[in-house]
Structure 1
């Protein structure tokens, strides 16, 4: 991935969290949970795996990437028609076989049905790796056997140390239709809106396609002119980041382009 000149614009941020040593009042002011919230969960897939690769958010491979295999599909209250993709939570349970500390998960998929996921209250369908991580040593099998869980959760900032935001250009993209998936968003992790500027131009709104996927449709008939800068506005707290010239004029469909920017909590 070539080095790309990028400009960072953070609105109302106090910086990246230092070992998560942030005052709870500051966390709450930025939209995160100070306290644990009651919820429900199930689990799916391989007992130690990621469940399904990518799912409805479009991240594709997860194991071995900054997202990892401790992930979850959220029901619509969490998934929010794809705009909840990338949110990070800590989850824990209170059964005798559970660890007392929380396990960090990332929302990567939609959980559309089942006893909990079909309801209106927040629910998580956890990967096998996530539910196993919630168990005390040697008790993961016993925890998985429970199947339906009362849990506690809280929304927390996403952290990807050493990793900046990545834009994966979709196959089929061209100078007349640009579509990409946003990956590894720190801080809120979620996306409210995306705007794109062409070469030295003003920002125009992109259209939310599905999951973490956004697109720019050509209505003029004239080809787009790269390089392309991308502005992202987060859903949780309105924090904004701008990646300047992150997608080159001669982009390759299917290629990932890492920016030089990340967003704090």
Structure 2
């Protein structure tokens, strides 16, 4: 088995370096402590990542990968690239799949904004996820990565915030492409209302919908459209999360 892994690793590294479609070169660091608790919250707005369905295998993306929040919820398989500088800190043959839950902002006190500066594909991973593919004493490692289909437990979830005149909804736990391209909300006394991205995975509607049962419609970045009917009852409350039994395939 060990020999098979070494052969597979060599083929993967050579193929990615040669530019085979699907794999790209990047770098990775870690943050949040050995238990990953410091990664909760973040620029995608998911709050507690366990409650949102994502857990500890998560990462903050550099500006280039974060794409103004469009990438929130997407999944990436990452493996350490032993063929490049810093590869001595790799755990060859290992890979890990993480969910994008945060932004790693540029640090302009460093040349070029540091590892998360513009134009650099970088993953600031939870320490437990990072330690699957790298030796902690290395601090930073070269990686190969590709976006992959997300697998989730249960259905899509909607966390509702805002005020009587403003609805802010965090759309969570998407399988398939993992991320939201467009969203709508409907009260039981309204038609479908187009929502817009406020920040991260939070979508807004400038409408007063308190006291109405709520339905949602979502198009994933994979192009699948689903209507989630009667998600929240007329007595829904701000700060609550409402789960569904429906899920995305792509």
Q: Shorter-normalised TM-score: what interval? A: 0.7 to 0.9
Work out whether residues 211 and 236 of structure 2, in 8 Å CA contact, stay in contact via their aligned partners in 1: no
TM-superposed CA distance for 1:223, in Å, is 5.5
Quick check: 1:173 aligned with 2:163?
yes
Greater relative contact order, per chain length (Cα 8 Å cut-off, separation 6+): 1
Aligned to 1:56: 43
Paired residue for 1:107, among 100, 114, 124?
A: 100
Q: Any unmatched runs of 5+ in structure 1?
A: 1-32, 136-142
Paired residue for 1:241, among 199, 217, 226?
A: 226
Which SS does the other structure have where 1:55 is aligned?
Answer: coil
TM-superposed CA distance for 1:224, in Å, is 5.7
TM-superposed CA distance for 1:84, in Å, is 1.1
The root-mean-square deviation of aligned C-alpha atoms, in Å, is 2.1
Structure ranking higher in helix proportion: 2
Distance 1:106-1:196 versus aligned 2 partners, 3 A rule: same
Aligned to 1:255: 240
Quick check: 1:88 aligned with 2:80?
no
User: Following the alignment from structure 2 to structure 1, what is the Cα–Cα distance between the partners of residues 175 and 21?
Assistant: 19
TM-superposed CA distance for 1:50, in Å, is 4.5
Distance 1:99-1:68 versus aligned 2 partners, 3 A rule: farther
Distance 1:230-1:65 versus aligned 2 partners, 3 A rule: closer
After superposing on structure 2, the runs of 4+ consecutive aligned residues of structure 1 that deviate more than 3 Å are 222-225
TM-score, normalised on structure 2? 0.80
Q: Any unmatched runs of 5+ in structure 2?
A: 1-19, 108-113
TM-superposed CA distance for 1:225, in Å, is 6.1
Which SS does the other structure have where 1:110 is aligned?
Answer: strand
Structure 1 residues 143-222: aligned runs within 5 Å: 143-161=135-153, 163-170=154-161, 172-174=162-164, 176-199=165-188, 201-218=190-207
Work out whether residues 95 and 132 of structure 2, in 8 Å CA contact, stay in contact via their aligned partners in 1: no
User: Following the alignment from structure 2 to structure 1, what is the Cα–Cα distance between the partners of residues 178 and 209?
Assistant: 32
